[in-house]
């Protein structure tokens, strides 16, 4: 005999009919209840329930009539007005309004109330943050006054909290830090002031600024009496190493970050790395190759032993020592000893067919793989696998193996692709011999073949070779075999303002004209513009938010107020869905090729005959800002350069001192007072 208790409940402000019974797996009562239309489960009340209906008693008795041995008890409820109860509960709700003066936002929080939710949603001035469980509104007086009056008028209470902006008087440093600052010498105080000023330019959060300043102050105290600007890397490293014995992990990282910020961002030194722990070993385990892919690889292989080795090493992923000791009669190996990935019956049958073929052709004794009647040694078996890959030139295995290794690194996708492509071409040139069998002289000769390539191309090849040979295959290569090319110094090419204006005037397509304008007004990179979303352009502050840019860092750059009208016209005409610039298919970013073609056509139409590329607009942005006298550190932030040396190359283009220098030829003509007679005309 089963008992079902039925009771009316108030669930989340709505009237429901609750069903209580003892839960038994696969019982008739449980199965009937789970099949009930519109049923739902309440974790709070620990019961199933259905929407309230006036005839729920007759409805449930009729529904459970086929459930044998069931007794239904309808519990009596007190006669009360559910609406009045809900109204009294709603009246007790207090709405919390948090006003953030720093971010100029207003956050509204309240307990669960569908009625209140509808009231706030009807204003259409804010939106609901699902993760934070609150509303967010623009923080202005109009929104606060209107919303608070609406909430009070609807019968709810409000409580207001104002988060004041931090000021010099409200945010005080701890007393011991103030004492440290006071005890610093004049030189150290000057460095600290410069440090603090640079932090403000980098748009770091207030808490990060405070942490950096604290640990840099400690650093200045510890290095008192020394020339801080001229400390060597080893002196800094020894200091950090000594601190690693005193500080906790988080404090040590904050100390390193504060010191690196000073020397790399303030002093413009090269990047510093401090390896205080053992280096992470590159994992070189065998990669998994799917059965169908392995079958394609084995098509060109005739030997059953070679096929079996590749099958066990790359599909089953057994270690070399395990493969060496596999018995000759191992047809049922995957039923009693090992389990095949996915329990693929086709792969098991393939393995058993190879066993039979090896038995017929090689007639092994005790072990499946034997060398002169004995089991293979691990090293010999490993070399045999290398020889198989080399003999049959199995590019797919090399590619999969190295891709597996690269995926475990923190390299960017572009770097992974470049490393793999460069090394695969190198292996193909050497007929896919295993890298451990390639001599240093052969590496040098291969690099010599590419000496006419650009220095960047050669440098990338050296980086790829060093990674695979030294970190993956643990094969040290002397620098005399891997000589990096000397990089030339090239001044960045850029457009004049007249040239940019000319391209704008001859470009009539709104999408193309806005794209060229955006490149120039923001100094944005090509890939950054491709990934730009519609909401990343803030016309109120005239800023563009660039997320996950080069180096996986976010930043802000400029947006011109003169482009507001063009932006509006572009959005109304093109109607992009997701990205600001989309290609032929809606929702996909504009292709790089189309962007380059657009600029080249515009330049040709404007009468520009030299070679042009998209990056010239970025060069123009930086060059013209420098010409207008803007501080190079601001330009560094807008450009997203980690090292200011990258930005400083534009100063070679813009140099007022050079503009005042006259050629000695000009001086000669001036002194001769027209004595020179040439075909050219004087300016």
Instruction: List, as one string, the DSSP characters of 164-210.
Output: PPP-TTTS---HHHHHHHHHS-HHHHHHHHHHHHHHHHTT--HHHHH
Q: So what's the pLDDT on residue 455? A: 82
**What's 640's DSSP letter?**
T
Q: So what's the pLDDT on residue 524? A: 94
Q: So what's the pLDDT on residue 665? A: 59
- What is the mean predicted confidence (pLDDT) over 304-330? 87
Each residue's pLDDT tens digit, 487-513: 665 678 899 999 999 999 999 999 999
More confident residue, 464 or 186: 464
Q: So what's the pLDDT on residue 286? A: 61
In whole angstroms, give the CA distance from residue 368 to residue 312: 12
Cite the DSSP H helix spans in 318-344. 320-324, 333-336
Instruction: Flag the least confident range among 73-82, 513-522, 618-627.
Output: 73-82
Each residue's pLDDT tens digit, 410-440: 787 888 999 999 999 999 998 888 888 888 8
Distance of CA 465 to the CA centre of its chain: 26
H or E stretch at 658: helix 656-659
Q: So what's the pLDDT on residue 669? A: 57
Closest CA to 126 of 151, 91, 156, 102: 151
| Phi then psi dihedrals of residue 369, to 5 deg | -115, 115
Q: So what's the pLDDT on residue 454? A: 84
Instruction: Flag the least confident range among 86-100, 300-314, 350-364, 577-591.
Output: 86-100
In whole angstroms, give the CA distance from residue 368 to residue 362: 9
The dihedral region occupied by 317, where left means phi > 0, alpha psi between -120 and 50, and beta the remainder, is left
| Phi then psi dihedrals of residue 439, to 5 deg | -80, 160
More confident residue, 639 or 674: 639
In whole angstroms, give the CA distance from residue 55 to residue 69: 23
CA-to-CA dists, residue 663 to 549, 654, 659, 683, angstroms:
43, 18, 11, 14
- Assign 106 to helix, strand or coil: strand
Dihedral of alpha carbons 12, 17, 22, 27, sign: negative
More confident residue, 618 or 344: 618
Instruction: Flag the least confident range among 111-115, 208-212, 310-314, 435-439.
Output: 111-115
Q: So what's the pLDDT on residue 489? A: 58
Q: So what's the pLDDT on residue 663? A: 58
Q: So what's the pLDDT on residue 576? A: 92
- What is the mean predicted confidence (pLDDT) over 38-48? 85
| Phi then psi dihedrals of residue 473, to 5 deg | -95, 0
Each residue's pLDDT tens digit, 260-275: 999 988 887 877 877 6
CB-based burial label for 456 (10 Å; 0-12, 13-18, 19+): exposed
In whole angstroms, give the CA distance from residue 513 to residue 565: 12
pLDDT band at residue 87, thresholds of 50, 70 and 90?
low
DSSP string, 400-441: HHHHHHHHTS---HHHHHHHHHHHHHHHHHTTT--GGGS-HH
Q: Is the pLDDT of residue 408 over 70?
A: yes
Q: Fold for domain 2-79?
A: Translation Initiation Factor Eif1 (3.30.780)
- Assign 95 to helix, strand or coil: strand
- What is the mean predicted confidence (pLDDT) over 440-450? 90
Q: Is the pLDDT of residue 279 over 50?
A: no
pLDDT band at residue 671, thresholds of 50, 70 and 90?
low
Give the architecture-level CATH label for domain 181-266: Orthogonal Bundle (1.10)
Instruction: Flag the least confident range among 21-30, 119-128, 277-286, 353-362.
Output: 277-286
Q: So what's the pLDDT on residue 172? A: 44
Q: Is the pLDDT of residue 143 over 90?
A: no
Q: So what's the pLDDT on residue 275? A: 66
Q: Do domains 181-266 and 497-656 have the same CATH topology?
A: no
pLDDT band at residue 280, thresholds of 50, 70 and 90?
very low
Q: Fold for domain 409-472?
A: DNA polymerase; domain 1 (1.10.150)
Q: Is the pLDDT of residue 345 over 60?
A: yes
Q: So what's the pLDDT on residue 668? A: 56
Q: So what's the pLDDT on residue 674? A: 53
Report percent pLDDT > 90 for the chain.
Answer: 21
List the Cα angle 625/537/163 in 5-degree steps: 100
pLDDT band at residue 129, thresholds of 50, 70 and 90?
confident
Q: Could you tell me if 138 and 101 are in contact, meaning their C-beta atoms sit under 8 angstroms apart? A: no
Closest CA to 472 of 383, 410, 380, 401: 401
In whole angstroms, give the CA distance from residue 660 to residue 663: 10
Q: Which residues are catalytic?
A: 525, 550, 615, 618, 641, 650
More confident residue, 565 or 665: 565
Domains of the chain, by residue range, sit at 2-79, 85-163, 181-266, 291-392, 409-472, 497-656
More confident residue, 245 or 352: 352
Q: So what's the pLDDT on residue 580? A: 94
pLDDT band at residue 672, thresholds of 50, 70 and 90?
low
Q: So what's the pLDDT on residue 170? A: 37
pLDDT band at residue 681, thresholds of 50, 70 and 90?
very low
pLDDT band at residue 181, thresholds of 50, 70 and 90?
low
CATH class of the domain defined by 497-656: mainly alpha
Q: Is the pLDDT of residue 342 over 80?
A: no
Q: Is the pLDDT of residue 389 over 50?
A: yes
CA-to-CA dists, residue 336 to 325, 333, 368, angstroms:
16, 6, 17
- CB within 8 A of 619, min separation 6: which ones? 492, 493, 494, 650
Burial 23-32 (b: 16+ CB within 10 A, else e): eeeeeebbee
H or E stretch at 591: none
Q: So what's the pLDDT on residue 657? A: 44
CB-based burial label for 17 (10 Å; 0-12, 13-18, 19+): buried
pTM as predicted: 0.45
Length of the chain: 683
Q: Is the pLDDT of residue 605 over 90?
A: yes
């Amino acid at each position: 005999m089963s008992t079902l208790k039925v009771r009316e409940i108030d669930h989340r402000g709505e009237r429901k009919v609750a069903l209580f019974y003892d839960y038994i797996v696969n019982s008739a009562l449980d199965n009937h209840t789970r099949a009930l239309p519109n049923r739902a489960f309440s974790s709070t009340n620990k019961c199933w329930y259905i929407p309230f209906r006036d005839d729920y008693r007759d409805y449930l008795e009729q529904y459970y009539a086929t459930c044998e041995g069931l007794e239904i008890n309808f519990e009596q409820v007190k006669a009360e007005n559910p609406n009045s109860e809900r109204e009294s509960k709603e009246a007790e709700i207090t709405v919390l309004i948090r006003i953030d003066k720093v971010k100029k936002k207003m956050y509204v929080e309240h307990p669960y109330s569908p009625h209140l939710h509808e009231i706030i949603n009807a204003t259409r001035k804010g939106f609901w943050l699902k993760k934070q469980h609150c509303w967010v509104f623009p923080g202005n007086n109009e929104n606060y006054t209107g919303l608070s009056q609406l909430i009070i008028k609807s019968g709810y209470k409000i409580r207001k909290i104002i988060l004041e902006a931090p000021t010099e008087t409200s945010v005080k440093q701890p007393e011991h830090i103030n004492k440290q600052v006071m005890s610093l010498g004049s030189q150290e105080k000057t460095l600290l002031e410069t440090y603090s000023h640079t932090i403000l330019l980098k748009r770091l959060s207030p808490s990060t600024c405070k942490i950096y300043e604290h640990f840099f102050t400690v650093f200045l105290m510890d290095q008192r009496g020394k020339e801080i600007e001229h400390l060597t890397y080893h002196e800094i490293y020894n200091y950090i190493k000594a601190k690693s014995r005193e500080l906790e992990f988080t404090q040590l990282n904050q100390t390193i970050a504060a010191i690196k910020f000073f020397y790399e961002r303030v002093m413009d030194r090269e990047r510093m790395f401090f390896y205080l722990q053992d280096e992470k070993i590159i994992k070189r385990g065998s990669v998994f190759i799917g059965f169908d892919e392995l079958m394609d690889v084995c098509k060109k292989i005739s030997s059953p032993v070679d096929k079996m080795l590749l099958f066990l090493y790359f599909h089953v992923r057994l270690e070399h020592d395990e493969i060496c000791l596999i018995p000759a009669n191992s047809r049922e190996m995957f039923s009693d000893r090992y389990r095949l990935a996915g329990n693929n019956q086709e792969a098991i049958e393939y393995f058993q067919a190879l066993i039979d073929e090896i038995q017929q052709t090689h007639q092994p004794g005790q072990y499946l793989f034997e060398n002169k009647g004995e089991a293979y040694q691990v090293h010999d078996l490993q070399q045999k696998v290398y020889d198989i890959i080399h003999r049959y030139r199995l590019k797919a295995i090399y590619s999969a193996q190295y891709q597996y290794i690269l995926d475990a690194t923190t390299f960017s996708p572009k770097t992974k692709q470049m490393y793999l492509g460069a090394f695969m071409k190198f292996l193909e040139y050497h007929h896919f011999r295993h890298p451990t069998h390639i001599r240093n002289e052969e590496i040098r000769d291969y690099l010599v073949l590419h000496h006419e390539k650009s220095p960047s191309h050669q440098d990338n090849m050296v980086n790829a070779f060093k990674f695979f040979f030294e970190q993956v295959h643990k094969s040290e290569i002397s620098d005399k075999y891997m000589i990096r090319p000397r990089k030339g110094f090239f001044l960045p090419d850029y457009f004049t303002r007249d040239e940019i204006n000319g391209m704008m005037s001859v470009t009539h397509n709104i999408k193309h004209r806005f794209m060229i304008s955006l490149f120039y007004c923001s100094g944005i990179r090509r890939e950054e513009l491709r990934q730009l979303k519609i909401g990343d352009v803030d016309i109120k502050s005239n800023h563009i938010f660039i997320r996950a840019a080069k180096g996986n860092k976010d930043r802000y750059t400029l947006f011109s107020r003169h482009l507001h009208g063009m932006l509006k016209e572009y959005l109304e005409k093109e109607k992009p869905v997701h990205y600001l610039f989309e290609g032929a298919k809606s929702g996909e970013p504009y292709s790089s090729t189309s962007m380059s073609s657009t600029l080249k056509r515009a330049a040709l139409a404007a009468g520009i005959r030299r070679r042009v590329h998209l990056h010239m607009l970025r060069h123009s942005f930086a060059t013209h800002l420098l010409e207008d006298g803007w501080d190079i550190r601001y330009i560094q932030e807008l450009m997203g350069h980690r090292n200011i040396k990258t930005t400083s190359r534009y100063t070679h283009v813009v140099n007022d001192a050079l503009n005042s220098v006259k050629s000695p030829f000009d001086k000669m003509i001036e002194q001769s007072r027209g004595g020179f007679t040439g075909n050219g005309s004087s300016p």
